[in-house]
Amino acid sequence: EAGVTQFPSHSVIEKGQTVTLRCDPISGHDNLYWYRRVMGKEIKFLLHFVKESKQDESGMPNNRFLAERTGGTYSTLKVQPAELEDSGVYFCASSQPHTWNTEAFFGQGTRLTVV
Partner 1 sequence: AQSVTQLDSHVSVSEGTPVLLRCNYSSSYSPSLFWYVQHPNKGLQLLLKYTSAATLVKGINGFEAEFKKSETSFHLTKPSAHMSDAAEYFCVVSESANDYKLSFGAGTTVTVRA
Least CB distance to partner 1 at residue 16 (A): 29
Q: Coil, strand or helix: which one is 97?
A: coil
| Closer CB to partner 1, 1 or 100, in the complex | 100
Please, which residues bridge with residue 93 across strands? 33, 106
Q: Is the CB of residue 73 less than 8 Å from the CB of residue 94?
A: no
Q: Is the CB of residue 87 less than 8 Å from the CB of residue 38?
A: yes
| Closer CB to partner 1, 27 or 99, in the complex | 99
Least CB distance to partner 1 at residue 14 (A): 25
Q: Coil, strand or helix: which one is 84?
A: helix
Q: What is the contact surface with partner 1 in residues (CB under 8 A)?
A: 3-4, 9, 31, 33, 35, 41-45, 48, 55-56, 59, 91, 93, 95, 99-101, 103-109
| Closer CB to partner 1, 46 or 114, in the complex | 46
Least CB distance to partner 1 at residue 17 (A): 25
| H-helix segments, 1-115 | none
Question: For residue 70, what is the DSSP state?
Answer: G
Length of the chain: 115
Least CB distance to partner 1 at residue 77 (A): 16
| Closer CB to partner 1, 17 or 89, in the complex | 89
